[in-house]
């Protein structure tokens, strides 16, 4: 997914071209960039297709649109069985995809998604993309994951996430109305409420953010999305169990307090957080098909993957 980072996009595409396991296809979703990201993507030999949106739909909308276009409804000819999601500031090491697929093949059972180890440019694990280990994983699950070179997780990051198309068709798409932040947390947690997710240690990608830190590093006006989306996730999403809702409610409040204490712009955080809390409580996220309406054929792709509310448990997703 690309937005206004053409130089990083070029490096990311170069890294995809250098994978030891060549990709079957590369789709670049250009989220209405103001620079020539679309042209960079269109001229790169590894790119199969460039899908441009007429407006910026944020990371959440971009991943939802791209995923819908890549996967399509069940039985759609020429659509992907697995989709490797990443942003334009993700630089995968040459064996990143090979290691994800190796772990998937080595695990004795269906896997809904697999995530890479995410590092900063100096090799440190990036705190923005730390997967949440799966609490209560059985000894058998942990042992099976260990044999595959992985750890069972409860959530993962869009920085590098390999998703099974069957899980997408069953559970639907990311919530586009989140725009930015917590969209991958909500989506991966939704897929993994009853499904299996693995953090694969040997698959490594570099997340080239400007600074080393998580989203609590003085986010400014973007604090609005952190608060609103976390409230939405805890109160509106089916991704969490009742005990997890209580756990993440407390963790979120602690995180917000820590963010406020560390900030040099507390007045900005108060205003942004107050608006986020108000909107999170008073309204619900719109359906993703509504948020991404009016974007041409991709809107039809999205509408075809927005299922009714699910209650059944599927052990293959």
Which parts of the chain fold into alpha helices (H)?
6-17, 37-43, 58-71, 96-106, 139-147, 165-171, 183-191, 223-236, 242-262, 266-282, 288-291, 297-303
What's the pLDDT score for residue 317? 47
What's the pLDDT score for residue 75? 55
Backbone angles phi, psi at 280, to 5 degrees: -65, -35
Give the chain's residues under pLDDT 70. Answer: 74-78, 213-217, 307-317
pLDDT in tens, 90-140: 999 999 999 999 999 999 999 999 999 999 988 888 888 788 899 999 999
What's the pLDDT score for residue 214? 63
What's the pLDDT score for residue 99? 98
What's the pLDDT score for residue 116? 97
What's the pLDDT score for residue 127? 81
Taking the whole predicted model, whether its pTM rises above 0.85 is answered as yes
What's the pLDDT score for residue 80? 84
What's the pLDDT score for residue 316? 45
What's the pLDDT score for residue 108? 96
What's the pLDDT score for residue 211? 79
- Backbone conformation region of residue 35, classed left if phi is above 0, alpha if psi is from -120 to 50, else beta: beta
pLDDT in tens, 224-255: 999 999 999 999 999 999 999 999 999 999 99
CA nearest neighbour of 205 among 62, 12, 4: 12
Domain boundaries, the chain: 6-303
CATH of the domain spanning 6-303: 3.90.550.10
Q: How far is CA 251 from CA 161, 268, 276, in A?
A: 24, 22, 17
């Amino acid at each position: 997914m690309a937005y206004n980072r053409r130089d990083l996009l070029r490096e990311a595409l170069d890294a995809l071209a250098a994978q030891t396991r060549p990709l079957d296809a590369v789709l670049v979703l250009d989220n209405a960039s103001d620079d020539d990201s679309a042209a960079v993507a269109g001229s790169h030999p590894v790119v199969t297709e460039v899908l441009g949106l007429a407006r910026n739909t944020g990371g959440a909308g971009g991943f939802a649109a791209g995923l819908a276009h890549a996967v399509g409804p069940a039985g759609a000819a020429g659509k992907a069985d697995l989709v490797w999601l990443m942003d334009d500031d993700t630089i995968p090491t040459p064996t990143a995809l090979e290691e994800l697929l190796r772990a998937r093949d080595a695990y004795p059972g269906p896997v809904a998604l697999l995530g890479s180890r995410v590092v900063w440019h100096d090799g440190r694990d990036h705190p923005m993309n730390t997967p949440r280990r799966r609490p209560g994983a059985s000894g058998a699950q942990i042992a099976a994951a260990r044999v595959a070179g992985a750890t069972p997780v409860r959530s993962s990051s869009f920085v590098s996430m390999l998703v099974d198309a069957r899980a997408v068709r069953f559970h639907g798409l990311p919530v586009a109305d989140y725009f930015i932040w917590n969209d991958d947390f909500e989506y991966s947690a939704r897929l993994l409420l009853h499904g299996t997710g693995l953090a694969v240690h040997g698959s490594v990608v570099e997340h080239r953010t400007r600074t080393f830190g998580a989203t609590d590093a003085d986010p400014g006006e973007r604090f609005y999305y952190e608060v609103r989306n976390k409230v939405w996730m805890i109160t509106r999403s089916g991704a969490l169990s009742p005990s997890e809702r209580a756990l993440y409610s407390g963790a979120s409040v602690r995180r917000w307090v820590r963010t406020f204490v560390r900030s040099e712009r507390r007045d900005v955080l108060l205003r942004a957080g107050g608006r986020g809390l108000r909107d999170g409580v008073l309204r619900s996220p719109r359906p993703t098909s509504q948020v991404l309406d009016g974007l041409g054929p991709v809107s039809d792709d999205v509408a075809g993957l927005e299922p009714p509310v699910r209650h059944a448990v599927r052990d293959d997703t």
